[in-house]
Chain A
Amino acid sequence: MPATAADIRKKEKIIQRVFLIIAFSSLFSLFLIALFIFIEGFPMIMKVGLKDFLLSTRWSPTRGHYGIFAMIVSSFWVTIGALLFGGPLGLMCSIFLVEFASARWRAIIKPALELLAGIPSVVYGFLGVVYLVPLVRDYLGGPGLSLLTSCIILGIMILPTVISISVDALVAVPNSYREAAFSLGGTRWQTTYMVTVHAAKSGIITALVLGMGRAVGETMAVIMISGNALKIPTSILDPIRTMTSNIALEMGYASGMHRQALFATGIVLFFFVMALNTIATLFARRKAIK
């Protein structure tokens, strides 16, 4: 076999093409998903009207009312609530791991957190129903199946995302900053909150935003613990129904316009998640430029 420079170049080119096609196939599936939900859902939005679809609270598909406002509000609050529980906890945990933990602790905690990411969401939901729901019901009142319960469980579920990305951000902070802070008499904690966290700010925001993306998309656990009542929550103890759980709950029997309305809800979710990811990318990129 003659292996001339031209031969090698040719071979490299073929390999490059193959990998390009493979890479595009995953992009292609994203494109197909987007296309599919748009084809299914968009005509329905046109028919009902964007305003009646997004801003009306009346959802009774059998009678021709397709307002998802209550679900949008519920999804919004559950996402914010999950962030309130999981954000500070995750951030503190990653600060502990990077700045304070000894190598031995880190070796125990990091794999354990990765395990947390691998637990199926139905298990979180199950634990929520069995343990958390009665607690909330008995001590705080209401049905227990509530916005609060969902926020707590989702807060735990976003921990792996928040922690792994903010750990990366903190690890990427050059040691010279820490040295400088110590040499000026800063304690480890002062150094962390006055310098290191600032230096890792964009990465930490990315972590929080991606955690929100995870929370807004979660379905199974939320169905099990949120109560699924169709209304705008007026207290954190009220049951809620998010966009995702509505799709999952009704897809089984929906047909016609009703089915299309569920796809249209998917479009709204799609934009929701895309907006969050764009924000995360912008923050990540801002750091890269610096």
Chain B
Amino acid sequence: MPEYALVAEHFNLYYGEFHALKDLNLSVRKNTVTALIGPSGCGKSTLLRSFNRMNDLIQGVRTEGAIYFEGKDITKDDVNLVQLRQKVGMVFQRPNPFPLSIRDNITFGPRVMGEKKRSVLDGIVEDSLKRVGLWEALKDDLNKNALALSDEQQQRLCIARLLAVKPEIVLMDEPCSALDPIATLRIEELMLELKRKFTVVVVTHNMQQAARVSDETGLMYLGELIEFDKTKKIFTNPSEKITEDYVTGKFG
């Protein structure tokens, strides 16, 4: 299945007794934007965080089934989490740059991988900032504290910080929910650009956003994946009643 970046098979996740994700099957195509939509608490963020094992930080989480990435089941115990997280990176809901300089934010990933050479790190900083469209604005302020940037710039910086570790997949958990509409549009443009080199999976509350940026969309409801198909089909001619009700705004 070389055209798929991530494949989930009969994937279940439990928070203690609570069955949060129920028998999920889906395949994320490479170099596309896949959107996960659904009402709050439906498990879309939990699924996203299963792709890079961020749920491991929560106590009492247990999974069944498999998620394949590069042919390997990443739910198993023998997975190298450090490598996995570098290949499957994540952008969070609220911009969360470290309270360090812009440069140190971007070089964090390369530095934890052991890169020490100043010239290499400088190259990565420039390259990453260029990709997210921040280089021109920030190239003279690389030592400035990242917390002094605007929300949108902070979120772009977080994306740049992620690109610096050369991921295969970029997971985005409602990346625009803290941004104004104009900044949101610009981040969406960035997503479309990113999919040329990376595979993007985005969780969003905003259905219009899913319609604008994604190639495929999955609708989740109460821990189940109700429907997963081409975005156009989901929004114009869904197969399931729940999907239709959700995308037409009858609930959620």
Contact = CB atoms under 8 A, between A and B. Distances in A.
Given A179-B54, A194-B111, A195-B108, A184 B96 contact: no
B178 to A, nearest CB: 11
Nearest to B91: A183
A185 interface: yes
Nearest to B83: A185
A12 to B, nearest CB: 39
Interface stretch (B34-42, B157-165, B199-207, B210-218): B157-165
A184 B99 contact: no
B61 interface: no
Contact of A176 (B96, B109, B161, B165): B96
B77 to A, nearest CB: 17
Interface residues of B, number: 26
Contacts of B162: 183-184
Contact of A186 (B92, B99, B112): B112
Contacts of B94: 176
Interface residues of A, number: 18
A194 B99 CA distance: 11
Contacts of A198: 98-100
A182 B81 CA distance: 9
A177 B96 contact: yes
Which label, helix, strand, loop or mixed, suits the secondary structure of the A interface? helix
B85 A182 contact: yes
Given A176-B96, A198-B99, A181 B57 contact: no
B90 A177 contact: no
Contacts of A194: 108, 111-112
Interface string A242-280: 000000000000000000000000000000000000000
Contacts of B86: 184-185
Contacts of B98: 177, 180-181, 195, 198-199
Interface in B87-123: 89-90, 92, 94, 96-100, 108-109, 111-113
A100 to B, nearest CB: 14
B161 A179 contact: no
B12 interface: no
A174 B94 CA distance: 12
A184 B85 contact: yes
Interface in A175-233: 176-177, 179-187, 190, 194-195, 198-199
A181 B99 CA distance: 12
A195 B147 contact: no
B112 A183 contact: no
Interface in B169-225: none
A180 B85 contact: no
A141 B90 CA distance: 59
Nearest to A195: B98
Contact of B112 (A174, A179, A185, A199): A185
A183 B54 contact: yes
Interface of A: 174, 176-177, 179-187, 190, 194-195, 198-199, 290
